[in-house]
Amino acid sequence: MAKKRIIKAYEQLPEELVEKIKEKYPDGFDDHLITFTNTRGEIEVALPFETDDTYYLVKMPKSSAAEDEEEFETPAYDEFDNFENLEIGEDVADEEE
């Protein structure tokens, strides 16, 4: 039998599930968040979380999603005008070594 798949807002999770998430990610779950576009075209931030019988996609509060959306709109490479003139520094090791 396949696992149930549920999308649920973090604020609506039962305390038992919140405790399981805290146990799995004692140092925080920021590095495990994903982004997706909902049916209204808005960017959502969520935490995939799996229990024995259910696969959850836990949506984070909108304030977090808005901050992440702004981050995606201003990528770090915008600071460079011309990639063709970049040089590799001597302190950068070859990946083959």
Q: How does pLDDT run across 43-67, given as a tens digit for each residue?
A: 999 999 999 999 999 999 876 444 4
Tell me, yes or no, whether 42 lies in a domain.
Answer: yes
Tell me, yes or no, whether 44 lies in a domain.
Answer: yes
Q: Would the pTM of this model clear 0.75, i.e. be above it?
A: no
Tell me, yes or no, whether 97 lies in a domain.
Answer: no
Tell me, yes or no, whether 87 lies in a domain.
Answer: no
pLDDT at 72: 43
Tell me, yes or no, whether 53 lies in a domain.
Answer: yes
- The Cα–Cα gap between 86 and 17 comes to 49
Tell me, yes or no, whether 46 lies in a domain.
Answer: yes
Tell me, yes or no, whether 91 lies in a domain.
Answer: no
Which residues of the chain are modeled with pLDDT < 70? 63-97
Tell me, yes or no, whether 69 lies in a domain.
Answer: yes
Alpha-carbon distance values, 84 to 75, 80, 87, 89, 90 (Å): 18, 10, 8, 14, 18
Note down the domain range covering 52: 8-74
Count of the separate structural domains present in the chain: 1
